[in-house]
């Protein structure tokens, strides 16, 4: 009898503590936002002065015009010019990881440092050496989004939006049954036939960077409409132009697309904070899928041959994340920790059923850290 009472007491204590943990969490919605291939160097130091010319940066705009937009001798002001939302809002109300100049290290663990392995790592919580090319096909691994879509109270309230057609494979749309809106086939369903026809015409007549990558601005239109209509509880948003323009060697357009990306995130945040379903109960995790090389040539590419491509950045803002701002001399963090963090913010333990997944980013969970 004493043994049984002790066991019962332990069970009840665990149940109580779990309930108390969930009660402490204020987050009810989580949004993971990715800017493909956006370097930590631009996030934390702004425009690179060595690339503000035609020779090394491939710029078409005059260097004087570009400097007027994005340059300051003061690093803090320079990065704020490029990313005003990240530095005026996220840095004041949330946390940013990855400034290696200040002893904050954020990295990928997949050993490849390109897109598909990076997205797999961040949404499944672990690297997979089998995924060694972007044309890998349907992801054999279960993402935290797919896992959450099986949880009571969350199932059916998840959306995936991305400019890259390959997100259909990365999230394994056929197996996961997640709604994946990606690439140039993305539909518009605004409720207005005239608006939908106009959007379809834009898709048909816009010059394409390539057949797999929708323009970032065209993603924003159906994304905002869907949020207003379906009120997703868990959302993925993937923008791609920062990577595309870097590969094209156009540093002026890297800066422009990075600045616009910051504006898209601001618009998304303000839109959701204006809605009672999201206000003061939504956490944004903003990051990249990989870094890039540095220097006068290597910035255009990424992968194991470009040193530094494994270095990333992670920003978090939400009601459970303490306003610690730009982290310095912090414990290293990894891309693989994002999946469990998404679950933990919703009161779920992803690592319990996926023991190979990395632990969540404890410090962004505040007092409710697991």
| Closest C-alpha to 79, from 96, 94, 65 | 96
* pLDDT value at residue 2: 47
Whether residue 6 lies inside any domain: the answer is no
Distances (CA, A) of 126 to 91, 118, 121, 273, 350: 27, 10, 5, 32, 12
* pLDDT value at residue 188: 74
Whether residue 1 lies inside any domain: the answer is no
Domain harbouring 146, CATH code: 3.40.720.10
In degrees and rounded to multiples of 5, residue 268 shows phi and psi of: -65, -45
In angstroms, rounded to a whole number, what is the distance separating the alpha carbons of residues 115 and 49? 27
Whether residue 122 lies inside any domain: the answer is yes
Q: For every one of its 370 residues, what pLDDT tens digit does the chain have, with 9 covering 90 and above?
A: 344 444 444 333 433 334 444 558 999 999 999 999 999 999 999 999 999 999 999 999 888 999 999 999 999 999 999 999 999 999 999 999 999 999 999 999 999 999 999 999 999 999 999 999 999 999 999 999 999 999 999 999 999 999 999 999 999 999 999 999 999 988 877 778 888 899 999 999 999 999 999 999 999 999 999 999 999 999 999 999 999 999 999 999 999 999 999 999 999 999 999 999 999 999 999 999 999 999 999 999 999 999 999 999 999 999 999 999 999 999 999 999 999 999 999 999 999 999 999 999 999 997 544 4
> Please, which residues have CB within 8 angstroms of residue 71's CB and are 6 or more apart in sequence?
46, 47, 49, 52, 78, 81
Report the number of distinct structural domains present in the chain. 1
Question: Tokens representing 206?
Answer: 């816009």
Question: Tokens representing 333?
Answer: 């963090």
The CA angle 275-279-281, to the nearest 5 degrees, is: 135
86: DSSP letter: I
Distances (CA, A) of 68 to 71, 84, 100, 165, 250: 6, 15, 27, 35, 18
Whether residue 13 lies inside any domain: the answer is no
* pLDDT value at residue 87: 98
In angstroms, rounded to a whole number, what is the distance separating the alpha carbons of residues 162 and 223? 9
Q: Count the alpha carbons within 13 Å of 228 in the hemisphere toward its beta carbon.
A: 15
Q: Count the alpha carbons within 13 Å of 53 in the hemisphere toward its beta carbon.
A: 6
In angstroms, rounded to a whole number, what is the distance separating the alpha carbons of residues 18 and 30? 20
* pLDDT value at residue 27: 98
Question: Helices in 25-164 by DSSP H: which ranges?
Answer: 40-45, 54-57, 63-70, 75-82, 84-85, 91-93, 115-124, 144-148
Distances (CA, A) of 199 to 100, 184, 219, 226: 42, 11, 11, 14
Question: Tokens representing 24?
Answer: 């402490």
* pLDDT value at residue 250: 97
Whether residue 22 lies inside any domain: the answer is no
Q: How many Cβ atoms are within 10 Å of 200's Cβ, its own excluded?
A: 12
Q: How many Cβ atoms are within 10 Å of 258's Cβ, its own excluded?
A: 25
* pLDDT value at residue 159: 98
What residues make up the domain containing 194? 27-368
Is 225:189 a contact under the CB 8 Å cutoff? Answer: yes
* pLDDT value at residue 191: 76
Whether residue 70 lies inside any domain: the answer is yes
Whether residue 289 lies inside any domain: the answer is yes
* pLDDT value at residue 23: 54
Whether residue 7 lies inside any domain: the answer is no
Site of tokens 């961040």: 122
* pLDDT value at residue 194: 87
């Amino acid at each position: 009898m004493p043994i049984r009472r002790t066991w019962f007491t332990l069970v009840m204590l665990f149940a109580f503590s779990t309930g108390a943990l969930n009660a402490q969490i204020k987050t009810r919605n989580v949004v993971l936002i990715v800017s493909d291939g956006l370097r930590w160097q631009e996030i934390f130091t702004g425009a690179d002065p060595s690339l503000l010319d035609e020779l090394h940066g491939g710029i078409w705009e005059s260097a004087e015009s570009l400097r007027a937009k994005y340059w300051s001798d003061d690093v803090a002001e320079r990065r704020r010019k490029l990313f005003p939302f990240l530095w005026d809002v996220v840095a004041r109300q949330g946390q940013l990881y990855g400034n290696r100049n200040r002893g904050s290290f954020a990295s990928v663990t997949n050993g490849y440092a390109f897109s598909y392995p990076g997205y797999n790592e961040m949404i499944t919580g672990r690297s997979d050496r089998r995924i060694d090319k972007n044309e890998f096909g349907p992801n054999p691994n279960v993402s935290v989004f797919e896992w959450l879509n099986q949880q009571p109270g969350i199932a059916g309230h998840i959306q995936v939006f991305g400019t890259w057609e390959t997100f259909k494979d990365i999230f394994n749309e056929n197996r996961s049954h997640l709604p994946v809106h990606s690439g140039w086939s993305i539909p518009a369903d605004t409720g207005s036939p005239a608006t939908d026809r106009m959007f379809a015409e834009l898709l048909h007549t816009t010059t394409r960077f390539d057949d797999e990558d929708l323009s970032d601005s065209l993603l924003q239109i159906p994304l905002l409409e869907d949020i207003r209509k379906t009120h997703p509880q868990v959302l993925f948003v993937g923008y791609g132009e920062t990577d595309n323009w870097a590969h094209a060697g156009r540093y002026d357009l890297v800066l422009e697309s990075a600045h616009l990306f910051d504006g898209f995130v601001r618009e998304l945040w303000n839109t959701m904070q204006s809605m009672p379903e999201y206000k003061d109960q939504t956490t944004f995790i903003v990051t990249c899928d990989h870094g890039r090389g540095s220097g006068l040539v290597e910035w255009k590419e990424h992968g194991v041959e470009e040193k530094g491509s494994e270095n990333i950045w992670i920003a978090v803002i939400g009601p459970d994340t303490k306003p610690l701002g730009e982290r310095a001399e912090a414990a290293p963090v990894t891309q693989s920790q994002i999946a469990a963090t998404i679950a933990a913010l919703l009161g779920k333990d992803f690592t319990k059923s996926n023991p190979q997944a990395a632990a969540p980013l404890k410090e962004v969970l505040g007092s409710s850290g697991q």
